[in-house]
Structure 1
Amino acid sequence: MVKTKLKKGDTVIVIAGKEKGKVGKIKQIIRNSDPNKVRVVIEGVNVGKKHLKKIEGIREGGIVEIERPIHISNVMYYDEKTGQRVKIGFRIKEEGNKVIKERINRKTGETIDIVWEKEKK
């Protein structure tokens, strides 16, 4: 499985392409067997139109707008407090008999969230 520093629900900013500068939350991460083809779907970004055929009793036909995926290298974590894009790092802390791995903002050093918590052996 491909490891990424971004998670579903993270606020990101698009840093390359026609949607550059747009901010939104990650709705979905699409992973393939090829680690170079990880893509993300972001709310309100890269919206395209899709023509749907009517299926009796299930859905109406017509043209709907859907969010299309973008390559993960074209997005970066967006810090809402500072209003800037930042790099994400990992920190492993030892507190008492616990080992904690957390995601951190590399610019300020603040904790974003905890990845996992384990007890020391």
Structure 2
Amino acid sequence: MNKIKKDDTVIVISGKDKGKRSKVLRVFPKENKILVDNVNVVKKHQRPTQQMREGGIIEQPKPIYISKVMLVCPNCDQKTRVGFKFLEDGTKVRYCKKCGEIIEKA
């Protein structure tokens, strides 16, 4: 179970986009990377193709390492570390290490 999932709100803690707060668009668990909205945006020179009639310089986000972001707790609204615990019915859930609240049920 990953500590960060799709549609989580995260804050960047290092790099050129330090301090930005945004939503996770996609998770790549094998590469330990995530795609975050409006973070690590690069310019790409695109040649015209049959699908895309116009070429030019387009901007697109690139994945960043999971270790460069921290989860923002929806309850206390602070960046926090994530812990795991089992409930009485045996389900594994993520919880906020600052306030102790369950982030979401898996």
Query: What is the TM-score with the length of structure 2 in the denominator?
Result: 0.88
The one of the two structures with greater contact order (alpha-carbon pairs below 8 A, sep at least 6) is 2
What is the CA distance between 1:109 and its match in structure 2?
A: 1.0
Paired letter, 2:24: I
Paired letter, 2:7: G
Deviations 1:61-89 (A, max 9, x none): 11111011111110000124533211111
Partners of 1:71 and 1:92 lie apart in 2 by 27
Paired letter, 1:6: I
Equivalence map 1:1-121=2 (5 Å)? 3-32=1-30, 37-56=31-50, 58-59=51-52, 60-94=54-88, 98-115=89-106
Flag structure 1 segments of 5+ consecutive residues without an equivalent: 116-121
Flag structure 2 segments of 5+ consecutive residues without an equivalent: none
Paired letter, 1:18: K
Superposed structure 1 runs of 4+ greater than 2 Å apart: 79-83
- RMSD across aligned C-alpha pairs, in angstroms? 1.5
Deviations 1:21-71 (A, max 9, x none): 001111111233xxxx41111001111111111112x11211111011111
**How many residues end up aligned between the 2 structures?**
105
Going by fraction, where is strand more abundant, 1 or 2? 1
